[in-house]
Copies of this chain bind each other. A is one copy, B any other.
Amino acid sequence: MNDNDQDAGRAAARPKRADARRNEKALLEAAAAVFVSSGVEAPIRDIAAKAGVGTATIYRHFPTRADLIVAVYRHQVEALAEAGPALLASGETPHAALGRWADLFVDFLVTKHGLAAVLQSDDSCFDPLHSYFLDRLLPVCTQLLDAAVASGEIRPGQDAYELMRGVGSLCAGAGSNLRYDARHLVGLLIAGLGRAR
């Protein structure tokens, strides 16, 4: 739950050195800042420079770029995962809850420059990112989808994985394009699931 406790309760593993902990924190903060200004595909050197460390230090702490991205956004993804059941319990219809959850997902993705694009990439370098998002969010999406099917609002036979990828794809197309409203398109997609026609 907490990602600051490197050693809590584990006597066997030696605690990380103080400078290592310091650098990891600096790296996370630098990465968060650089991701905002230059997107998640910013050059490794930029992040290292901002954190005041060498490039190799990044690789030591976060073997792949995906690991770094996961670490930076972990909290927000967790929040997204917890929002699913909450929306389902909020009294709306399941289909509406699914739509609201999709909107949260979209808002998260479009504000993280380039994240959606990277999420769609099939470069194996991003596998850890892929896995994390899937592990954490796919069950939530599945639950919402199942509920909407059970309530009779949408047709059965829809695949939650495919739906999530679809939403991710639509967000990836956003860029900084004024004439492209990812929320609107995702709304159409969710509406298209509906039983009506």
Question: Using a CB–CB distance below 8 Å, which chain A residues touch chain B?
Answer: 117, 120-122, 159, 161-163, 165-166, 168-170, 172-173, 175-177, 179-181, 184-185, 187-194, 196-197
Residues on B with C-beta less than 8 A from A117 are 120
Residues on B with C-beta less than 8 A from A190 are 192
Contacts A/B (CB < 8 Å), 10 sampled:
A117-B120, A120-B175, A122-B176, A162-B179, A169-B169, A188-B192, A188-B193, A190-B192, A194-B197, A196-B196
- Looking at chain A's contact residues, is the secondary structure mostly helix, strand, loop, or mixed? helix
The smallest beta-carbon distance between A195 and chain B, in angstroms, is 9
A172 to B184, CA, bound (A): 18
Instruction: Please state the number of chain copies in the assembly.
Output: 2
The smallest beta-carbon distance between A178 and chain B, in angstroms, is 11
A194 to B195, CA, bound (A): 12
Residues on B with C-beta less than 8 A from A120 are 117, 172-173, 175
Residues on B with C-beta less than 8 A from A187 are 192
The smallest beta-carbon distance between A104 and chain B, in angstroms, is 19
Assuming the A-B contacts A120-B173, A172-B173, are A180 and B162 also in contact, with contact meaning beta carbons closer than 8 angstroms in the complex?
yes
A180 to B160, CA, bound (A): 10
Return the chain B residue nearest A175 by Cβ. B122
Assuming the A-B contacts A175-B120, A185-B189, A189-B185, are A180 and B196 also in contact, with contact meaning beta carbons closer than 8 angstroms in the complex?
no
Please tell me which one of the listed residues B177, B194, B196 contacts residue A165 in the complex, with CB atoms under 8 A apart: B177
B189–A162 contact, CB under 8 A? no
Assuming the A-B contacts A169-B172, A192-B190, are A185 and B197 also in contact, with contact meaning beta carbons closer than 8 angstroms in the complex?
no
Return the chain B residue nearest A166 by Cβ. B185
Instruction: Given A165-B179, A172-B172, output 14 extra A-B contacts at Cβ < 8 Å.
Output: A120-B175, A161-B180, A162-B180, A162-B181, A165-B173, A166-B173, A166-B185, A169-B170, A169-B172, A169-B173, A172-B173, A185-B189, A191-B197, A194-B197
